[in-house]
Amino acid sequence: MAQYDAIIIGAGMSGLAAGIRLAMYDKKVVVLERHYVWGGLNSFYQFKGHQFDVGLHALTNYAARGARGLPLSRLLKQLRIRWDDLDLHQQGFSAVSFPGVKLKFSNEFELLRSEVARAFPQQADGFDALTRAVREFNELDLEAPQQDARPVVRRFINDPLLEDMIFCPLMYYGSAREHDMDWDQFVVMFKSIFFEGFSRPQQGVRHILKLLIDRFRKAGGELRLKTGVRRILTDGNRATGVELDNGETLTAETVLSSAGLVETERMRGQEPGAQATGKLSFTETISVLDQPAKHVGIEETIVFFSNTARFNYAQPADDVDTSSGVICMPGNFDLPSTPRDHLVRITNIANYDRWAALGSAGFQPASGAGLRPAPQAADETSAAHAGATPALPYYTAKQHWYERSCADAISHIADFRPHVTLVDMFTPRTIRHYTGHEGGAVYGSPKKLRTGATGIEGLYIIGTDQGFLGIIGAALSGISMANRWVLQRDTSAVEAT
Amino acid sequence: MTDEHIKQAIIGIIADIAPDEDTGSIDPAVRLRDQMDLDSMDFLDIVMELRKRYGVQVPDTDYQHLASLDSCVAYLRDKMAGKQLVS
């Protein structure tokens, strides 16, 4: 029976970051990952000779070299990573695109400010006041009372179209709640997207993961892949270790779980409350183009869109809601060299239960040919449909929704469909499979445990369900929980001895 | 350990914690926080590095003594006596 100072469940951003902190200070620490690759929600895979990222469109929270007091700078210091090592390249510009109005934004906040003043002159002062309220709010106060964001935002903005255009990117990049966000989450996302902005390494998420893995191993941490946790062991009100899927038992002083709130409760043999499971899952399509997106006429790095004036961030009744989404052109970051693959990625909100109910028959097409590019004639947009589609075999459903997704997206970007040479797509089922999140809930439970405390001593939640979101947020979650529940306890124990 | 060595020990720790900071021009009389991007999480790291490298314990209540290089030297002089500088 192996004995550790700390066991970390999940080798995503938060688990790896927590692991680095603990290993750096000579804790005996193991990170357990059920999957055969690390990364969690942010991972990567090879498909027909192409390298695709999962999860990461962009790193939010951009901070220039030497910038002070920002989340990214805090993360670099805590993990002892040099700014240059991240290899960050900024976005060109992005946009929020709704019927009849488009707001551009970039890593210079002034662009968004001037765009709002241009498109919504009556709202310009209110937007400035909202901006000040966001700037002045301390989102790091973990004990602050919960409040809804919409009523706060409506104090400053009284045009529902602008309100939804502000919410759209913030929700898509991090809200586990339908229709609204917690105000502190709104502030975190507003700062990370509009104040700080987007960037990415040339090599995408695998570059960041490689940095973390190297740092973790160098510090002496142990990573066990293909190692699922069956049960969290407790003695009275105290966590004592875990039992693995293979029956092996590991004991530890502290267990940090990035598996999610609901998933962690289940590992303790508890039945979680029904409303604790997140409702928001996504499909993502990846289209490989025969030329860079800019040559096809797409200038934006990322486009957040809705085809209806009221943006509906909620679990759809149908398999997918293609009437809103996020379109990412990874090649439109200011990269030092043109990426080998020219990609357009489209994310839409999807219904996990419907995808889960589709039969596994038809999981692969009989021909083995894979998804086909959408014919340009396939202009079946969401507007043309009323009522849910009949249940299709899984693979047929993917082809159907791939085509619908493209057809709705091209209201906002140039029609790239004639240039598509290869297609892949993942669904809520894929997310469930690779992340273990119930309901394929990308952003986890709508209930967040800001302090990480579960009520069981020695068991703490890190990552998405602690409530810091995005790649930088998740990593900072792992760091701050490792500091708070392990390292700081060591230093405060000094007084007692 | 001489006062100069204590200074070097602290500078060495800061250089590791904040690899992007220029540690060559720290004014020993001025608060570290005012010269570079160090927050409370970073001061926790300085304390943990002192323990890891030199076996020196700094209780929470004494963090204030680590404000500047000069105050570090004054506070650590007795605690670091007889220790070897770790590079």
- The 10s digit of each residue's pLDDT in A249-292 is 999 999 999 999 999 999 999 888 777 889 999 999 999 999 99
State pTM to two decimals.
0.93
Residues 11 through 70 of chain B touching chain A, CB cutoff 8 Å: 16-20, 37, 39, 41-42, 44-45, 47-48, 51-52, 57-61
- Percent with pLDDT over 70 in chain B: 99
CA dihedral A222, A7, A474, A493 (to 10 degrees): -110
Q: List the single residue in A with minimal CA-CA distance to B15.
A: A80
The CB-side HSE value for A400 (13 A sphere, CA atoms) comes to 17
Q: Which of A32, A10, A36, A31 is nearest to A20 (CA)?
A: A31
Q: CATH for A94-200+277-435? A: 3.90.660
Can A2-53+204-275+445-496 and A94-200+277-435 be said to share one CATH topology?
no
How much is the pLDDT for A365? 44
- Percent with pLDDT over 70 in chain A: 93
Whether the pLDDT of residue A497 is over 50: the answer is: no
Q: CATH for B3-76? A: 1.10.1200.10
pLDDT digits (tens, 9 = 90+) for B28-51: 999 999 999 898 889 999 999 999
Minimum distance, in Å, between the CA of residue B15 and any CA atom of chain A: 10
Whether the pLDDT of residue A97 is over 60: the answer is: yes
Minimum distance, in Å, between the CA of residue A494 and any CA atom of chain B: 6
CB contact under 8 A, A491 and B44: yes
Q: List the single residue in B with minimal CA-CA distance to A76.
A: B18
Minimum distance, in Å, between the CA of residue B60 and any CA atom of chain A: 6
**Cβ pair A232, A268 in contact under 8 A:** yes
Which residues in chain A have Cβ-Cβ distances shorter than 8 Å to B20? 65-66, 76, 82-83
How much is the pLDDT for A433? 85
Minimum distance, in Å, between the CA of residue A479 and any CA atom of chain B: 10
pLDDT confidence bin for A496, thresholds 50/70/90 = very low
Most confidently modeled range among A101-115, A139-153, A267-281: A101-115
Burial class (CB in 10 A: 0-12, 13-18, 19+), B61: exposed
CB contact under 8 A, A495 and B59: yes
Whether the pLDDT of residue A138 is over 70: the answer is: yes
ipTM above 0.95, yes or no: no
**Cβ pair A169, A36 in contact under 8 A:** no
How much is the pLDDT for A363? 45
pLDDT digits (tens, 9 = 90+) for B6-22: 999 999 999 999 988 88
CA A442 vs CA A40, A103, A166, A430: distances in Å: 10, 26, 21, 11
pLDDT confidence bin for A29, thresholds 50/70/90 = very high
CB contact under 8 A, A82 and B60: no
Q: How far apart are CA A56 and CA A470, in angstroms?
A: 9
Residues A147-167 have a mean pLDDT of 98
Whether the pLDDT of residue A30 is over 70: the answer is: yes
pLDDT digits (tens, 9 = 90+) for A172-213: 999 999 999 999 999 999 999 999 999 999 999 899 999 999
Whether the pLDDT of residue A385 is over 80: the answer is: no
Which residues in chain B have Cβ-Cβ distances shorter than 8 Å to A76? 19-20
- What is the amino acid identity at position A401? W
Whether the pLDDT of residue A413 is over 50: the answer is: yes
Q: How far apart are CA A164 and CA A379, in angstroms?
A: 26
DSSP A390: P
CB contact under 8 A, B37 and A480: no
CB contact under 8 A, B41 and A480: yes
Please report, for chain B, the start and end positions of each structural domain, with discontinuous segments joined by +: 3-76
Which residues in chain A have Cβ-Cβ distances shorter than 8 Å to B57? 494
Say which range, A201-205, A338-342, A417-421, A492-496, has the weakest mean pLDDT: A492-496
Average pLDDT, chain A: 91
Q: CATH for A2-53+204-275+445-496? A: 3.50.50.60
Q: List the single residue in B with minimal CA-CA distance to A79.
A: B17
CB contact under 8 A, A82 and B20: yes
Which residues in chain B have Cβ-Cβ distances shorter than 8 Å to A491? 44, 47-48, 51, 58-60
Please report, for chain A, the start and end positions of each structural domain, with discontinuous segments joined by +: 2-53+204-275+445-496, 94-200+277-435
CA B72 vs CA A197, B8, B40, B57, B79: distances in Å: 38, 11, 16, 13, 11
How much is the pLDDT for A366? 43
CB contact under 8 A, B41 and A68: no
Minimum distance, in Å, between the CA of residue B1 and any CA atom of chain A: 23
Candidates A76, A479, A494; nearest CB to B20? A76
CB contact under 8 A, A487 and B47: no
